Structure 1
Amino acid sequence: KQHWRESEGFPAEVLVADRPDSHYVGPIAIGRPPQNFLVVYDLSSANLWVPGSSCPACDCVRQHRRFDGTLSESYRTSEVGVQLAAGPGRCAGYLSRDTVHLGNATLFDTIFVEAQAASKHLSQSDVDGVLGLGLPQAA
């Protein structure tokens, strides 16, 4: 179960950039203290994923910010493996839980995927991950 807490106002206000390739991108942060990421706001999926700190031998290690659970006091991992389709790409990783900050709103104990591998399309992108805002059926 996920719970929202109002930080400075609700609904959350987030600055997004409209890209010419039809993507909306913007910031999120995960953990306590927060680790910042630039993500695609995706209406066709319902999953949040970012590269994990131990992403072995994938391009995302060199190009993207990576989430490090050891730096967060609110982090929990389930070590349950998952694979996701993300547009034309795919990623694989583990389900984890932590605090997610979206603009001025905070979502506690949020499930997300720590990617351990990503397809070339995703690993060469200039964004770190994906925040799925679609209906739960899209997860």
Structure 2
Amino acid sequence: MQPPSLLLLVLGLLAAPAAALVRIPLHKFTSVRRTMTELGGPVEDLIAKGPISKYAQGAPAVTGGPIPEMLRNYMDAQYYGEIGIGTPPQCFTVVFDTGSSNLWVPSIHCKLLDIACWIHHKYNSGKSSTYVKNGTSFDIHYGSGSLSGYLSQDTVSVPCKSALSGLAGIKVERQTFGEATKQPGITFIAAKFDGILGMAYPRISVNNVLPVFDNLMQQKLVEKNIFSFYLNRDPNAQPGGELMLGGTDSKYYKGPLSYLNVTRKAYCGFMGMDIPPPGGPLWILGDVFIGCYYTVFDRDQNRVGLAQATRL
């Protein structure tokens, strides 16, 4: 029989929440804009034709209605990571977007003429033992149209599979997300990513869905309620960067972190320095400016930390 003290220690370790730093490798791909340019596509003309122009000079308005996303930014996004949805995990490549709050991926039930859906990975609820039906319709308005579908609930694994063990990462249970059945325009057809995982505050979440990171915080899956990005500026390096949940890694930056308060408790971004679009006033993963800095998003203190990124 084990001594009581040893037994209590073992039980304590089993009951303790996962507090390790969660690492998600980021891979760099050719952006949608560059892909279309190489194919001779009129990128700027495409943007100018749609109503996106009225959103290009600022952040989407926080209202009770649909929230217009800044489609221009997604055309420049280059860094994507992999998550899993369901049990066993179905893997998807997503943009980790600090300017929105919802998670969505293409659905197996997408429309017949939705080309973007058919050429990307699709979520199949019938293959998941942890799927819970929701069915509420959702609509995210972009400049050139609206992405629509319905909500579902399942377990989200971040990352989909660990590079070391080959097993799924931390599991965020009971996560509500969007199954997209209709995707607008050519942008998502040319994109290398399957969907988008919003990292911003719940305030701007469509349908008031609890964002993945907030759900992760509620389930106490990380020791610190922060996440940080490192983007490798070497175009030939793989992985192209790393997203860390629950902490930072000093090897990725030099000098002290300088913190700025977020502009409002909505976006994980901040105003400053009058950087013109598409580099500002808010940045998402993949923008040119943010790639020069190691970036820390501190949700407890509602602030963003920046330090000069190292070249590895």
Fold shared per TM-score above 0.5: yes
- CA shift in 2, pair 1:88/1:45, >3 Å: farther
For residue 13 of structure 1, give the secondary structure of its aligned residue in structure 2.
strand
Specify which structure has the bigger relative contact order, considering alpha-carbon pairs within 8 angstroms and separated by 6 or more residues.
1
Q: Which amino acid aligns with 2:21?
A: P
**Residue 101 in structure 1 maps to residue 157 in structure 2:** yes
Q: Counterpart in 2 of 1:46?
A: 101
Q: CA deviation at 1:16?
A: 1.2
Of Structure 1 and Structure 2, the greater strand share is in 1
Q: CA deviation at 1:22?
A: 4.1
Moved more, 121-130 or 10-19: 10-19
1:21-53 deviation digits (Å, cap 9, x = unpaired):
344310000000110000011000000000000
1:29-87 deviation digits (Å, cap 9, x = unpaired):
00001100000110000000000001012013431000000000000121110101368
Superposition pairs of residues 14-93 of structure 1, within 5 angstroms:
14-18=24-28, 21-57=76-112, 58-85=114-141, 90-93=146-149
After TM superposition, which residue ranges in structure 1, 4 or more long, deviate above 3 angstroms? 85-90
Native 8 Å contact 1:77 1:94 kept in 2: no
Distance 1:16 1:116 in 2: 26
Moved more, 19-28 or 94-103: 19-28
**Residue 117 in structure 1 maps to residue 182 in structure 2:** yes
Task: State the aligned residue count.
Answer: 133
Q: Look at both structures and tell me which one has the larger radius of gyration over its CA atoms.
A: 2
Moved more, 98-107 or 13-22: 13-22
Q: CA deviation at 1:91?
A: 1.0
- CA shift in 2, pair 1:109/1:61, >3 Å: same
- CA shift in 2, pair 1:86/1:24, >3 Å: farther
Native 8 Å contact 1:74 1:98 kept in 2: yes
1:102-121 deviation digits (Å, cap 9, x = unpaired):
12211001000000100022
For residue 39 of structure 1, give the secondary structure of its aligned residue in structure 2.
strand
**Structure 2 unaligned residues grouped into runs of 5+:** 1-16, 32-75, 160-168, 206-312
Q: CA deviation at 1:18?
A: 4.7
Of Structure 1 and Structure 2, the greater helix share is in 2
Native 8 Å contact 2:97 2:198 kept in 1: yes
Say what the alpha-carbon RMSD is for the aligned residues: 2.0
Q: Counterpart in 1 of 2:203?
A: 137
The alignment's TM-score, normalised by the length of structure 1, stands at: 0.85
The alignment's TM-score, normalised by the length of structure 2, stands at: 0.40
Distance 2:80 2:150 in 1: 23
Structure 1 vs Structure 2: percent identity of aligned residues? 30
Distance 1:62 1:10 in 2: 37
